[in-house]
Amino acid sequence: MTRRPIIIDTDPGIDDAVALAIALFSEKLDVRLITTVAGNVGLEKVTKNAVHLLEFFGKKVPIALGAARPLIKAPIDASDIHGSTGMDGFDFKEPKEDLVLKEHAVNAMYRVIMENEGPTTLVPIGPLTNIALLLSMYPDVKEKIDEIVLMGGSLTRGNYGVMSEFNIAADPEAAKMVFHSGVPIVMAGLDVGWKALVFPEDSEKLKDMNETGNMIYHLFQKYRGGSMKTGLKMYDSCAIAYLLKPEMYEVAETFVDIELSGSMTAGCTVVDLRGYLKQPNNAKVCVDIDPVMFKEWFMESLSKCK
């Protein structure tokens, strides 16, 4: 079986850590590069977290540092959700190996994509700053991107503002550039993330499943993306789930834009399911998920980790 080449752009992040575990141990995916972006916490911290995770997993995937701040707006963070380190709850060993490239994430992405004979899939699970820079600095890269499967946005309400989801709200200008780039986009947003839940009994199973499950169990004790009782939200795993088991989703092809100037709605995704805006479709939006299928897939995927 040929493994699908992907680049994960991430801001770990507790739910990012889980998504990375599943992707890195999947026999169907070939993670060629991990790029970091300021988001849940600052760039240095998220990069340190990525380095810790790769050392923990024993995976030698190169890491490249990307944007330390959004394109235009002032930085925000989500340390209230993930803790001040961005990945509170587990004591990682100091890494023996330095997998961090000297190259900037945007250049590294361009090189890795162009070096690959076939197309590469981008999987952004943080703010879209690096992806926007890549597409504007190197427009020729577009032809070699299979699709961008991202976690972000919402069809309904938000989790950062009334209407805005964190990854889009953190860099709305970047998100607008990406959605208008002409590259095929799959959007897995809050609507499916809210149904991709881990409950206490699942978390207990993870604790004794394997080393990765145990590490994740400890991160979950600090994660505030939902509550253990009503379900912890596995937002970023939804993007990986789309790559590995798309049949768990109901998908609508539609036009999506980003609100930049609304005094109460800036940073929200405008998902035009009914075609009011009379614009050509630019995204496949995951509008629903089978939560039972998600859970089975999630636990089975993590059981394949170290």
Among 5, 7, 13, 129, binds Ca ion (CB under 5 A): 13
Does residue 151 belong to the site contacting ligand BDR (CB under 6 A)? yes
What is the closest distance, in whole angstroms, from the C-beta atom of residue 144 to ligand BDR in the complex?
25
Q: Which two tokens stand for residue 197?
A: 């839940």
Q: Which stretch binds ligand BDR (CB under 6 A): 9-17, 52-60, 212-220, 294-302?
A: 9-17
Does residue 128 belong to the site contacting ligand BDR (CB under 6 A)? no
Q: Which is nearer to ligand BDR, 18 or 61 (CB)?
A: 18
Q: Which stretch binds Ca ion (CB under 5 A): 26-34, 105-113, 235-243, 294-302?
A: 235-243
Window 226 to 265, contacts with ligand BDR (CB under 6 A)? 235-236
* Phi and psi, residue 218, nearest 5°: -70, -40
What is the closest distance, in whole angstroms, from the C-beta atom of residue 76 to Ca ion in the complex?
13
Q: Which stretch binds Ca ion (CB under 5 A): 100-108, 123-131, 134-142, 179-187?
A: 123-131
What span, in angstroms and rounded, lies between the C-alpha atoms of 183 and 180?
A: 8
Q: Under 8 Å CB-to-CB from 201, ≥6 apart: which residues?
A: none
Q: Which stretch binds Ca ion (CB under 5 A): 26-34, 61-69, 79-87, 126-134?
A: 126-134
What is the closest distance, in whole angstroms, from the C-beta atom of residue 25 to ligand BDR in the complex?
19
Among 5, 8, 15, 305, binds ligand BDR (CB under 6 A): 15
Does residue 78 belong to the site contacting ligand BDR (CB under 6 A)? yes
DSSP state of 117: S
Among 17, 113, 125, 135, binds ligand BDR (CB under 6 A): 125
Strand ordering across the sheet containing 29-36: 63-65, 29-36, 4-10, 120-124, 145-151, 185-188, 283-289, 249-254
What span, in angstroms and rounded, lies between the C-alpha atoms of 66 and 63?
A: 10
Does residue 24 belong to the site contacting ligand BDR (CB under 6 A)? no
Does residue 202 belong to the site contacting ligand BDR (CB under 6 A)? no
Q: Under 8 Å CB-to-CB from 83, ≥6 apart: which residues?
A: 14, 89, 222
Q: Which stretch binds ligand BDR (CB under 6 A): 1-9, 52-60, 135-143, 165-173?
A: 165-173
Does residue 16 belong to the site contacting Ca ion (CB under 5 A)? yes
Window 81 to 110, contacts with ligand BDR (CB under 6 A)? 81
Helix (H) or strand (E) holding 217: helix 211-220
Is the N-terminal amide bond of 13 cis, ω within 30° of 0?
A: yes
- Residue 12 exposure: Cα atoms within 13 Å on the Cβ side: 25
Taking CA atoms, 32 is separated from 9, 38, 182, 254, 306, in Å, by: 11, 20, 23, 30, 19
Q: Under 8 Å CB-to-CB from 109, ≥6 apart: which residues?
A: 7, 9, 33, 35, 64, 122, 130, 134, 141
Does residue 89 belong to the site contacting Ca ion (CB under 5 A)? no
Please name the amino acid found at residue 213: G
Helix (H) or strand (E) holding 247: none
What is the closest distance, in whole angstroms, from the C-beta atom of residue 10 to Ca ion in the complex?
6
Window 181 to 200, contacts with Ca ion (CB under 5 A)? none
- Residue ranges in contact with Ca ion by CB under 5 A: 11, 13, 16, 125-126, 236
- Residue ranges in contact with ligand BDR by CB under 6 A: 13, 15-16, 40, 78, 81, 125-126, 151, 159, 165-167, 235-236
